[in-house]
Amino acid sequence: MRDTVAQFAKSATEGPATAVSVSAVTTWFNISYLLDKIPDSIGKLAALIGIFLSLVLIYSHIRLGRIKYKNLLLEIKIKEEKLKECHKEIIEQKEAE
């Protein structure tokens, strides 16, 4: 029984859902803390908009990086196929001679 409880606790604390929840709660508390430090004259809405725009920029850069990486992998695959075709042609030419 004790091992089962220990395994359940370990799986619950190491799971990706737990990581996402802890990250979201921590981020929310940090944003709340920072917003309390901002004077009302500056405007908390402006701060939230800035945070949102920063997150959008971070997401778009990560997405662009993934797209470039996939394109690079595709180009490598295409060039490898062309290289294989060239090798086959060279071997066929040598065999024909």
Structural domain that includes position 85: 41-97
Question: Does residue 6 sit in the same domain as residue 23?
Answer: yes
Question: Does residue 29 sit in the same domain as residue 10?
Answer: yes
User: What digits encode the pLDDT tens for the residues 50-89?
Assistant: 888 888 888 888 888 899 999 999 999 999 999 999 999 9
Question: Does residue 32 sit in the same domain as residue 48?
Answer: no
Q: How far apart are CA 11 and CA 8, in angstroms?
A: 5
Q: How many domains does the chain have?
A: 2
Position 85 scores a pLDDT of 93
Question: Does residue 33 sit in the same domain as residue 53?
Answer: no
Q: Which pTM does this prediction carry?
A: 0.46
Question: Does residue 31 sit in the same domain as residue 55?
Answer: no
Judge whether 12 and 18 are in contact, CB under 8 Å: yes
Angle between helices 44-96 and 16-37 (to 10 degrees): 140
Question: Does residue 54 sit in the same domain as residue 93?
Answer: yes
